[in-house]
Structures are given as C-alpha cells and as structure tokens.
A and B are shown apart, each in its own frame.
Chain A
C-alpha cells in the first residue's frame, strides 16, 4: 500500500455534556473509498467535521500526505484539498451554477477590487460540469431550480474545482432517487480512478457495500472495527455498529394474518397543483401498505392532500366506506387519520421546545379543559409515552432538538399514537434514524398494524419497503404505476414500475 493520503490519529472532541469522539484513528490511501458507518451519535459527523476543519479536535491530529494540518476553518481545509459535502446541501440556491462553483474562490482581476473574470469562470465551469456528467447548459441555471440529485453533482463539481484530494460525503444519497444514486456511483468511480480519496458516510448499508473499498465502524466515539473489501457484508457492519448480532430487524410473523376491511379509500383523487391523473387505492385495516416511487413521484404531495394540507380538486376520500370531507389537518386528525411527516425537523416537531411540549401539542384537548392543562395528568402522559416508546431522553423537559434523530422520530410517533390512530400515514418513517432505533420503530409499526391500524408507509428505502410492506403501490410521475402483492414483491419489480417500466 502506498503512503496514506490522510491520517487521523487519536482524535478527541468534547462537547458540553457529551464526549463525541474519544480517540478515533483512521487512514485513507490515495484513490480509496473509505466508508465510515455507525449509529447516530457514534461520532461520524464530528469526525468528518474535524477533518474538514469545521471543528478543532481537543486532542489528536490530522495529517495530509504526511504533513500535520492545523485547520482554522473550512476555508483552510478546502485550501489544503479537503472538501466536505454536507448532509444539508450547502449551495446558495439564489445564485447560478457557475456562481456556486466558484463561491469563495472567484476568478478575479483588478487586485483588491476583485472584479469577476466571467469568461474564465464559464470556461472552467464547462469542464467541471462535464466531469460530473451534467449538461453544459446548466451553467447559468439557478441552483434552486435543479432537482436534488443535480444539486449534489454541482457540489461535487465545486469540490473538483478546488483540486480536491480528500472528498468527504456525508449521507450523499439521502435525498437522491435510485437513478441519481447510480449517477453518483459512477462519478465516485471516476474520482477514485483519478486518485481522489473519499470518506463516505452513510446509513444505507447497501450503498456502502456497493461503493466502499474498506469500511471503518464507529461506536460511542471510538473505533469499533474495520472491514476489508471482501468482509463488507450487511451482517458484519450491523454487528460492529450495535455490538451484537442482529439477524433480521424486520419483524415477521404477522404476515400470515388476514387483513381487515378497507379503512381508507382514495376515489379518483386529484389535488391542487398536482398531476391530472386521478389516484385510487385502499388501505386496509391491519396492513402495511408500502408506497414506492422515485423522489418527485408525488407521494408526499398525495399524502398531504389526504391529510388536508393540499386542497383536493376532484374525487374524494372514503373512511370505512363513507365519504368524508377533509379540508384541513384538523378534519383528518378528527377522523383518526394521522401523518408522520417526511421532514420531522420542519413539520413534525418544534425543535427548541421540550419532549413533553411536543408530545402534548396535539393532545391538549384530552389533557385539560378550558381552564387549563392538568399538570399532573400531563406529567403522567409524558411518562407513559416516553417509557412506551423508549425515548432516550434525560427527562420530559429536554429540548427535543437535542435528541438523536431516532429519538426525535419516536417523539413524533408518540404524539400521534396517544390519539389512537385508525389510519397512520408514515412518510419516510426512518430517514436519518440509526439502526437500533429503526428496529424499535419497525416493531412499533408492526404492532400497530397487528392491532388493526391501517398503515400507509411512503418510503424510498428499498430494504424497508421490502421488509415491512404487506402490499406495495408504486408511483411514477404522479400516476399509479402499479400494485404488487406480497408474493410479487421484489426489488426489480418495484424499480421497474417506479422508473416507468410497467408491470412484468
């Protein structure tokens, strides 16, 4: 093996109340793709931010090509050749692609006046776009008008423009469709061939298997193990991450039970701003109906229409075979139709407020009268749901934004479960949730279905779709592309429908 491009030695980082990293080391060869996996809170993001100069380690060092680095900020790291492509995309969406590619390192003339040299930048832009497989006509488009996958490629193009030596990708595929993800893999393969070293963080273990040369696993801020290319298997990774064997975290056993009567039925529904094609399907009591489709297939929008957020224009919704009129989320909630939204940080939770506040919010009608909330009953209510869902929080007064993603998601479930849902719409139920919490959420969803709740689960995670669904509806560009029963369910069939291929 040639001398390592990047070495991290005994990195340690203490935050108030948390020791995020406790002596983590890694080394990365030129042109190697090293995946870093671990549960949320294992220290992956902190480690990446230290390498990228966002944080300064309390102890330990970072070496690039044998030189010890003293990074004072992301600008220093970029200058040294280390670029972080962040989980939340870091582009200025109001600016054009070219402007973003050169943000912070514009080609300028006129000395301190820094007059932009537009010709040089646009020529360079063409080269960079070609390297990530984007059309040259994208140069003058506003970044805000591009789909998520292309934004990601713009970020990579930007990094390439800095003569990057180490590229750090933090959950690069979390907002990408399957096809965009494939594009990304191709770009990664190209970068690897060009000698760029890549640190790749992902929760999606199938992806890690696909593109990593080596895997290191972090657990509780320490190195938990390392897997070479031929040792990378799903089970090996999960075992190191959680420190125990987890054969199958999808609950089985309920499958044999018959499903109940249709509880929720969409009858030729279209909604404002949506596609013209009417949508019809049912969700039965006691089943998990998976809904697959590429990002942008209109799944979230459809669920929002049923939940009363988007006005329904044609058709309607039946509940227990009777027409109901849902004009607002309050109507839906009153009917027992509840939505766990895609973006919990935006729509699901009030982050600075406490766990208890969030749990109480949709349940205040049951916790008090017009004279006020009954404090005792509320405390009891908080205790019950924190215990039942095993939310890891020091107390009910902890701000929910300080919890890990999985525990935040459990709070979103808690606030709805207390209302005894009849129909539960889950939009990306485990996005950004670590493996341990995922398992708990799956068990919970399974129990709910077994108790007769109709679960409509929208997911982009193929494993989750296959593992959890009794039946799957696939959407493609706003239309229903097809339905798959449990026996017909496999990855190929789903992808064929989702990409507009039609049923086999």
Chain B
C-alpha cells in the first residue's frame, strides 16, 4: 500500500512539475500524446511485471515488439488484410512465449539466459524480414487495405487519417487489460499461484500447483502483449526501422514494474502499482523534452529515479522489519 502511495506521489509530482515549468504542456493534445505512450508502455509493463512477480524475467520483450512491427508490415505487404494480420502478429507473440516458457520449464534453462538468446534471435528475425518499415509501402502495394488500415489505426491507437490524435485509445486498452489481468491476479486462484511461485516455487509445487503450466502461461501473456504492442507501435508511428524498433523496451518495462512495487526477487506487486509505475516514464520524458533539456539526459534521469525509488523503498522496508 505504501508502495502505491509512493509511486502515486511521484506521478503527481511529475505532472505538477510539468504544468508549472511548461504551462503550454497543459493542452489536451499533449496529455493525449503522453497518455497514449503510457498506455503503450503499460501494456508491455503488465506482461513484464507478471513475469517478475512470478519469479521470471523476460529480456526479449523489446525484440518481440520489433519482430511484431516487422511481421505486421510483412503480412500486410504479402496480402493479409490489416485486421487478420494484427491478430496473427499477436498470436505469433503467444507462440514465442510458449517457446520461452517451454525452454524454461521443460529444459530447466535459466529465464535470464533463454530470454537473452530470444532478444538476439527475434531481433535478428525482424531484421531478416525487412529493414525499413513504412505503412506507405503497404498502402502502395495494396491500396484496397487503406480504409481498413485507417479504421484499425483509429480503433487501436486513436489517430485519424491525418495522423492527429483523437483519443488516447492505447491508454484505454491498457486500462482494460489491467482490469482483466488484475482480476486474474487478485481475484482468482491463478493469481495466488503466480505470487506463490514467485516467492517459493517449491512451496507451490508441494501444494499441488502445476507450476510449469502457470509459468508457461505467464511467459505467453508477456510475449503476446509484446507482439500486440508491436502492432500498436507501427500503427502509431507509421515509419520504423527493424534494427531499432522497440529496442530497450524490456528495460523500460522492468523499470516500470519495479517503480510500481514489484520485487525483482518475485512474489510482490499489485496491478494498480504496475499501472502507475508504467505511467512514470512517459511523463518524465515529456517533462524533460518540453523543458528543452534534450533527450540525451533522459537515461541519466531514469536511472537515478529508479535508484532513488528503490533505495527509499529498501530503507522503509528495513525500518519496518526492525520495528516488527
């Protein structure tokens, strides 16, 4: 609870700083842009956070996003209409998650290693499938897709044909997902299993939980969300490159999860915290950019924010342990 309060205060502070230092940031458009980014990051953060709280880790998220981007464009250029193409890309994420999960549970490989390899492999596959990705190419190859591509864009990222943002749909999707995942996490037996596995896998196993099945399921959720995020990323930005689309997102997702109260040791975290944690970075980015500080300073600030956040948390935790 104190963790949620902490990240909430951080978030409020960032918004306040944004509005005070850059009064012109208070436009609906700017809020929508930030919210869309928060939604996008939130979707992958939810997946990453589920893995972390159930004791796993996924370093391949960014590459899976990139792979999703390229596969989405490739399928459409090959003649698959946008809606089924988006569904197929999302499904490909499930397959990737299944592979990660089986390698971890059946071959008993370490999650760090499996997903580190995945990070290279899926990035490599993305680069083999295409270099520079552009929705214009899709429209030129298949003019008949133009209208359904526009409606997909409106439905999933809230941008109209001109590219102007109408509504932060990605944020709404994130909230919907958070509702569904949160329900599973906090209200069903599955969520109990994830927490138990994250804290003490043996305890869960001895209690009769099918640990392997649960772990595979969580890997599948994580990669599915990442591939779906690839669809969103391409619809949002239209032009991307396969060698850097989504790169480093796994670290942003892990950062969001940790800010939101997930312990890297597993077994801790709440859906509300995760969503709030994922909302921090986009506001921070916006604050820095609009203050004209240049994007080069962003990694430093992100790193320091996370370091200070975890230090404060650790100190609070230590104090409460002593007092108990």
Q: Which residues of A pack against B, CB within 8 Å?
A: 54, 73-75, 78-79, 84, 86, 88, 90-95, 99, 102-106, 108, 110, 113-116, 145, 158, 273
Most chain A C-beta atoms within 10 Å of own C-beta, residue among B196, B204, B207: B207
Q: Does B195 sit at the interface, judged by CB under 8 A?
A: yes
Measured in the bound complex, the distance between the Cα atoms of B320 and A273 in whole Å is: 12
Q: Which of B175-218 contact A (CB under 8 A)?
A: 187-190, 192-193, 195-196, 198-200, 202-210
A-side contacts of B268, CB under 8 Å: 94
User: Inside 8 A of B198's CB, which chain A residues have their CB?
Assistant: 94
A-B contact pairs, 26 of them (CB 8 A): A54-B206, A74-B206, A75-B208, A78-B208, A84-B206, A90-B200, A90-B202, A90-B203, A91-B203, A93-B199, A94-B195, A94-B196, A94-B267, A94-B268, A95-B192, A95-B195, A99-B192, A104-B193, A104-B208, A105-B207, A105-B208, A108-B188, A115-B187, A115-B188, A116-B192, A145-B324
Asked if B322 is an interface residue, CB under 8 A from chain A, the answer is yes
Contact A116 B187 (CB under 8 A): yes
For B207, the closest partner residue in chain A by CB is A104
User: Whole-angstrom distance between the alpha carbons of A116 and B267 in the complex?
Assistant: 19
Residue in A95, A105, A116 whose beta carbon sits within 8 Å of that of B196 in the complex: A95
Chain A proximity of B193: nearest CB distance (Å): 8
Give chain A residues whose Cβ lies under 8 Å from the Cβ of B192. Answer: 95, 99, 102-103, 106, 116
Q: Which residues of B contact A75 (CB under 8 A)?
A: 208-210
Taking A73-B208, A105-B208 as given, write out 16 further A-B residue pairs in contact, using a Cβ cutoff of 8 Å, ordered by the A residue number. Answer: A75-B208, A86-B206, A90-B200, A90-B203, A92-B203, A94-B195, A94-B196, A94-B198, A94-B267, A94-B268, A95-B192, A103-B209, A104-B208, A105-B207, A108-B189, A115-B187
Query: In the complex, what distance in Å separates the CA atom of A103 from the CA atom of B203?
Result: 9
Query: Which residues of B are found within 8 Å of A54, using beta-carbon distances?
Result: 206
The smallest beta-carbon distance between B300 and chain A, in angstroms, is 33
Known: A103-B209, A273-B322. A92 touches B204 (CB 8 A): yes
Distance (whole angstroms) from the CB of A322 to the closest CB of chain B: 33
- Pairwise interchain contact A104-B200, C-beta atoms closer than 8 A: no
Interface size, B (range): 20 to 34
For residue A91, which residues in chain B have a CB less than 8 angstroms away from its CB? 200, 203
Alpha-carbon separation in the docked complex, A273 to B37 (Å): 45
CB-based contact B204/A74 at 8 Å: no
- The listed residue (A86, A104, A116, A145) touching B204 by CB distance below 8 A is A104
Expressed in whole angstroms, the Cα–Cα distance for A235 and B155 within the complex equals 81
- Closest B residue to A273 by beta carbon equals B322
Query: Are A116 and B208 in contact (CB-based, < 8 A)?
Result: no
Q: Give B271 Cβ to nearest chain A Cβ, in Å.
A: 15
Q: Please, which residue of chain B has its CB at the minimum distance from the CB of A109?
A: B188
Selected from B188, B200, B324, the residue in CB contact (under 8 A) with A116 is B188
Question: Nearest residue in A to B203 (C-beta to C-beta)?
Answer: A90
Whether the Cβ atoms of B189 and A90 lie closer than 8 Å is no
- A-side interface mostly: loop
- Cβ contact within 8 Å between A92 and B196: yes
In the complex, how many angstroms separate the beta carbon of A263 from the nearest chain B beta carbon? Answer: 32
Cα separation A113 to B183 with both chains bound (whole Å) = 10
Residues of B within 8 A of A105 (CB): 207-208
Q: Which residue of A lies closest to B197 (CB)?
A: A92
Residues of A within 8 A of B324 (CB): 145
Contact of B195 among A90, A92, A110, A158 (CB under 8 A): A92
* B266-310 near A? 1/0 per residue, CB < 8 Å: 011000000000000000000000000000000000000000000
Q: Which residue of chain B lies nearest to A93 when distances are taken between CB atoms in the complex?
A: B199
Query: Which residue of chain B is the closest to A103 with respect to CB atoms?
Result: B207
Question: Are the C-beta atoms of B199 and A90 separated by less than 8 Å?
Answer: no
Q: Which residues of B contact A94 (CB under 8 A)?
A: 195-196, 198-199, 267-268
CB neighbours of A273 from chain B (8 A): 322
A413 to chain B, nearest CB (A): 30
Q: Do residues A103 and B205 form an inter-chain contact, with CB atoms below 8 A?
A: no
CB distance from B124 to the nearest CB of A (A): 34
Among A79, A88, A95, A113, contact of B188 (Cβ-Cβ < 8 Å): A113
Inside 8 A of B189's CB, which chain A residues have their CB?
Answer: 106, 108, 114, 116
Closest Cβ of chain A to B114, distance in Å, is: 21
Q: How far is the CA of A115 from the CA of B207 in the complex (A)?
A: 19
**In the complex, chain A residues whose CB is within 8 Å of the CB of B205:** 74
Known: A95-B195, A103-B196. A90 touches B206 (CB 8 A): yes
**In whole angstroms, what is the CA distance A104 to B195 when docked?**
12
User: How far in angstroms is the closest Cβ of chain B from A270?
Assistant: 14
Q: How far is the CA of A74 from the CA of B267 in the complex (A)?
A: 22
Of chain A, the residue at the smallest CB distance from B198 is A94
A93 CB to closest chain B CB (Å) equals 6
B196 contacts across to A, CB distance below 8 A:
92, 94-95, 99, 103
From B206, which residue of chain A is reached at the shortest CB distance? A90
Give A114 to B199 CA distance when docked, in angstroms. 21
A114 touches B188 (CB 8 A): yes
Q: What 5 pairs between A and B have smallest CB-CB spacing?
A: A75-B208, A104-B207, A104-B208, A92-B196, A106-B189
In the complex, what's the smallest C-beta–C-beta distance from A491 to chain B, in angstroms?
Answer: 32
Q: Cβ of A92: which chain B residues have Cβ within 8 Å of it?
A: 195-196, 199-200, 203-204, 267
| Nearest CB of chain B from residue A95's CB, rounded to whole Å | 6
Q: A103-B196, A145-B324 are in contact. Are A90 and B188 (CB under 8 A)?
A: no
Name the distance in Å between B44's Cβ and chain A's nearest Cβ: 24
CB distance from A238 to the nearest CB of B (A): 32
User: Which residues of chain A come closer than 8 Å to B202, judged between CB atoms?
Assistant: 88, 90
Shortest distance in angstroms between B321's beta carbon and chain A's nearest beta carbon?
A: 9
Q: How far is the CA of A104 from the CA of B196 in the complex (A)?
A: 10
Docked Cα-Cα span, A145 to B324, in Å, equals 8
Q: In whole angstroms, what is the CA distance A158 to B203 when docked?
A: 12
Nearest residue, chain A, Cβ from B192: A99
Complex Cα gap A92–B199 (Å): 6
Most buried by A among B192, B268, B322: B192
| CA–CA, A419 and B21, complex, Å | 65
In the complex formed, the residue of B with least CB distance to A75 is B208
Question: Closest CB-CB distance, B303 to chain A, in whole Å?
Answer: 28
B43 to chain A, nearest CB (A): 22
Closest chain A residue, CB of each to CB of B191: A116
* Neighbouring A residues of B187 by C-beta, 8 Å: 115-116
Q: Which residues of A contact B204 (CB under 8 A)?
A: 92, 103-104
State how many angstroms separate the Cβ of B17 from the closest Cβ of chain A.
34
Which B residues touch A104, using CB under 8 A?
193, 204, 207-209
A157 to chain B, nearest CB (A): 13
State the CA gap A54–B207 with chains docked (Å).
12
| A-contact bits for B15-44, CB 8 A (1 contact / 0 none) | 000000000000000000000000000000
